[in-house]
């Protein structure tokens, strides 16, 4: 659903080995980047591994594989994909594993960070790729694709990140711009969700849907995160003006989740029950 928003992505480096055989993406740069992590999507997958996705705009169903669903192509850099988002996902999955075993949540901050990061991913994915020349660029050296990927890989394991201007049609600056935007939004989100406590709610009579975006949930001052079709987390603070856990029924939770979706949402079964 994001391909029409972003013009074609930059393909990773291709080289020829000693025998003259072409090798694509030797640095194993991640191209297919998920707005909703695959581990989260799998909770809604069918026995055949596909997803039931309803498209509100077309009023029709599609059944993509998990690996192809809700993804963008090389919108952010490898450090963001592997380290920033990877750590965020692993932290959440550790808490989700406890929740699914009916054990107490050990770290509410990790759940808050994941919820807000889902909002950030949806936000940047819904905007155009920032692939245009900046008036602020003052680089004296232009790097080729091989050099740029070497820098990108070095940044994955480094606390100090290098940034270079690419030659020709390189989208390196665009990926750097997205990375910086995601970092700044995340820092604000950490403060915004400080002190939020998450409570698991068992869905009754209806399965939870998984929307393509939780931004509208956040804008309403709510914190609702579907963990599985059967479990939803509600975030709240003491003395909060947001609806209480007891006030939100399974049906009202689902209505808010479906309303929050921009275009698509995932269901376990097409009858939603």
**Domain residue ranges in the chain:** 14-263
The average confidence (pLDDT) of the chain is 89
Helices 108-125 & 85-100 angle (0-180, nearest 10): 130
139/204 Cα distance (integer angstroms) = 58
Residue (of 212, 130, 209, 123) closest to 173 by Cα position: 130
208-225 pLDDT, tens digit per residue, is 999 999 999 999 999 999
Residue (of 170, 23, 152, 8) closest to 81 by Cα position: 152
Give yes or no for residue 243 having a pLDDT over 80: no
22-35 pLDDT, tens digit per residue, is 999 999 999 999 99
Residue (of 130, 126, 129) closest to 262 by Cα position: 126
Burial class (CB in 10 A: 0-12, 13-18, 19+), 235: buried
DSSP single-letter state for residue 82: I
127/108 Cα distance (integer angstroms) = 30
218/220 Cα distance (integer angstroms) = 5
At 18 the pLDDT is 83
- Write down the pTM of the prediction: 0.87
At 60 the pLDDT is 96
At 135 the pLDDT is 54
DSSP single-letter state for residue 209: P
Which phi-psi region, left, alpha or beta, contains residue 272 (left: φ > 0; alpha: ψ -120 to 50)?
left
* Longest CA span, the chain: 69
145-197 pLDDT, tens digit per residue, is 777 778 778 788 776 566 666 655 678 888 999 999 999 999 999 889 999 99
At 110 the pLDDT is 98
65/266 Cα distance (integer angstroms) = 12
- The alpha carbon of residue 142 and the mean position of all alpha carbons in its chain are separated, in whole angstroms, by 31
Is pLDDT larger for residue 110 or for residue 270? 110
């Amino acid at each position: 659903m994001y391909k029409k928003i972003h013009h074609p992505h930059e393909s990773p480096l291709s080289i020829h080995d000693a025998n003259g055989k072409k090798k694509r993406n030797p640095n194993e740069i991640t191209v297919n980047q998920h707005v909703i992590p695959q581990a989260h999507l799998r909770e809604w997958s069918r026995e055949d591994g596909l997803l039931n996705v309803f498209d509100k705009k077309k009023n029709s169903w599609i059944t993509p594989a998990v690996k192809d669903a809700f993804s963008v192509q090389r919108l952010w850099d490898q450090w963001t994909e592997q380290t920033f988002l990877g750590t965020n996902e692993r932290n959440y999955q550790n808490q989700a594993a406890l929740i699914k075993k009916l054990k107490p949540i050990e770290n509410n901050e990790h759940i808050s960070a994941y919820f807000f990061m889902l909002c950030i991913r949806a936000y940047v994915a819904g905007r155009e790729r920032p692939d245009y020349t900046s008036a602020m660029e003052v680089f004296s050296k232009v790097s080729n694709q091989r050099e740029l990927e070497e820098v990108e890989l070095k940044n994955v394991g480094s606390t100090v990140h290098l940034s270079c201007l690419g030659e020709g049609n390189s989208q390196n600056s665009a990926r750097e711009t997205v990375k910086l935007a995601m970092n700044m939004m995340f820092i604000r989100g950490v403060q915004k969700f400080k002190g939020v406590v998450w409570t698991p709610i068992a869905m009754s009579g209806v399965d939870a849907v998984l929307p393509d975006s939780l931004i509208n949930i956040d804008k309403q001052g709510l914190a609702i995160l579907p963990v599985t079709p059967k479990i939803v987390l509600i975030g709240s603070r003491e003395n909060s003006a947001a609806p209480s856990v007891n006030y939100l029924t399974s049906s009202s939770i689902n209505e808010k989740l479906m309303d929050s979706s921009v275009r698509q949402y995932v269901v376990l079964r097409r009858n939603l029950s």
